[in-house]
Amino acid sequence: MAAKLFGLGACLTTVGLLVFRMSRPKQDPVPGSIPSDSRQQVVAFVTELQDRICHTLEDMDGGAKFHEDIWEKTPKGTGGGRTRVIRNGNIFEQGGVNYSQVTSSQLPPTILVKHPHLKGQPFFATGISIVLHPKNPHVPTVHMNYRYFEA
């Protein structure tokens, strides 16, 4: 049991290090500027991060593999994602590592409450959500998110 606890701790530490290392810019950005290809860069970063986290968790579990569902938000073209679920592994009872992105011609009303000057502005959002339920009842569930929002 101690080996499995250590393995899970090492796995989560590895996930944290992956997020930290991959989120560091390759070059110093110009203050106050957003690169013209920022959306493509973030999507590439988040999808690669999802791939690396899933591979790391599969390697650590040593048994179960993730099953992927690619989906698209309707109306067509306003978003989509990749849902990945792992079940009945050596360490994980169940878990998900999910990527999604969404675009819209208007910001949600909840944002406009604090920022009414942004009414009518389009937005883009993407991110990754991770939820892991270990088999061991003495090991806590993990839930974390990494988000990018551009308006």
CB 97 within 8 A of CB 66: yes
Query: Which residue out of 55, 67, 115, 143 is catalytically annotated?
Result: 143
Residue 74 neighbours by CB distance under 10 Å: 9
Length of the chain: 151
| Conformational region of residue 120, where left means phi above 0, alpha means psi within -120 to 50, and beta covers everything else | left
Active site residue 67: no
* C-alpha distance from residue 151 to each of 23, 83, 107, 111, 123 (Å): 20, 25, 8, 11, 4
CB 29 within 8 A of CB 141: no
- Annotated catalytic residues are 143
